[in-house]
Amino acid sequence: MTLSLSKRVQRVSLSANAAAKSHATELRDAGHDILDLTTGEPDFDTPEHIKRAACAAIAGGATKYTPTPGVKALRLAVQRKLQRENRLDYSLASIVIANGAKQIIFNAFAATLDDGDEVLVPTPYWPSFPDSVRFNGGEPVFIACGLEQGCKLTAAQLEQHIGERTRWLILNGPGNPSGAVYSAAELQALAEVLRRHPQVLVLLDELYEHIRFDGQPAQSLLNVAPDLHARCLLVGGVSKTYAMTGWRIGFGAGPQVLTNAMAVVQSQSTSGASSVGQAAALAAFEGGLDFLPEQVAAYQLRRDLLVRTLRDVDGLEVLEPQGGFFVFIRCAGLLGHYRPDGARLDSDADVVAYLLEQGVAGVAGSAYGLSPWFRLSIATATDSVVEAGRRIARACANLRGAA
């Protein structure tokens, strides 16, 4: 018997990030010296007070099913967090908890997209954005945002791409993979366009909100354009700020009609998120951010060290990130060159494969909709980041020029 797969699942693919991570792990397990700079997973441990809260929840019997929209105490904590850290007010009914921010995004598209509806996706993008759109019947409309504009969407581009079927715009800041941060003026310009198109919803992915290198507090489109509140879904979670990637807790805050529908979608897939994970997230949001400056300083140091090394490498153009866990590098200047073994580099995938042979694992920019680039994570040990920079510089120096 031949198993027939749905057209829906055939429209999407395995996450390129996950595939790159898996390959790097296989090579390391086989004894190869590989510096893994593939994924945005903090190398810091979850703070102790959060782990203690999870243990206390288990000891106290908080191990049962949870309400689909989330435990009330956690939703209240998210409400207070949004008031305190983001200067935004939401009703309790406008906040929903899920198994990670990725599920929040998926649920939102499942609740709102009909076949053929369009979602504007600035490139470079996080790969799950377009695939979540496709899986739910929508069509991603890509808007190229290259190096010359700092990998940020402009108001003119937004106006040009909005059409009759446009349902959503995705704004990700600080960006993954770019590390780009929108200024207040840039956000205001985008808001002016959105006001002319009231049918367009906005998904604000702000997972890296506190990982910023400009010393400024988190800033959202809603801080400069509060009149768009009823059209925006703010997506957040605990994975990046609190080094809780494995706890799988994310939240969405938006119009109640949307969050109610998202809870319906979730009720028929996973139901409520982990009781223990929610107890840990509650402690995270209520425990303050005193631990964070030291971690952000470490990320910034790694960024500075890696950027300084790679900026001097012929053939590479580095976009200095203003936040997040990644350095995004344009490698057009390497294409057409030859490796020491005589093989020619014709794409960013070729560049990434060559660097992997030199012991550095990254992800090709094609995974993020922008080629020829590659992404390196700085959410790993500083020594590894420094050594990765050295290996990349040495690998590029060993290339032979195009014939």
In tens, the pLDDT along 207-232 reads 999 999 998 888 999 999 999 999 99
**What would the DSSP string read from start to end of 268-313?**
TTT-SPPHHHHHHHHHHHHS-STTHHHHHHHHHHHHHHHHHHHTTS
Dist CA 342 CA 344 (whole Å):
6
The CATH class for the domain spanning 7-45+292-397 reads: alpha beta
Please provide the distance, in angstroms rounded to a whole number, between the alpha carbons at the two ends of the chain: 52
Identify any residues that bridge with 35 across adjacent strands, giving them in sequence order: 360
What pLDDT was estimated at residue 391? 98
What pLDDT was estimated at residue 19? 80
Task: Give pLDDT tens digits for 310-356.
Answer: 999 999 999 999 999 999 999 999 999 999 999 999 999 999 999 99
**How many other C-beta atoms are found inside a 10 Å radius of the C-beta of residue 40?**
22
97 within 8 A of 251, measured Cβ to Cβ: yes
**How many other C-beta atoms are found inside a 10 Å radius of the C-beta of residue 321?**
29
What pLDDT was estimated at residue 140? 98
The pTM (predicted TM-score) of the whole model is 0.96
Angle between helices 382-397 and 292-310 (to 10 degrees): 10
Q: Which residues of the chain have pLDDT under 50?
A: none
Could you check whether 7-45+292-397 and 48-286 share the same CATH topology? no
- The one-character DSSP state at 13 is -
What pLDDT was estimated at residue 403? 58
Dist CA 23 CA 105 (whole Å):
27
The CATH class for the domain spanning 48-286 reads: alpha beta
Cβ neighbors of 325 (< 8 A, separation 6 or more) are 40, 42, 176, 208, 211, 240, 299, 377, 378, 379
Domains in the chain: boundaries: 7-45+292-397, 48-286
Identify any residues that bridge with 204 across adjacent strands, giving them in sequence order: 171, 234
Decide the pairing of beta strands 326-330 and 373-377: antiparallel
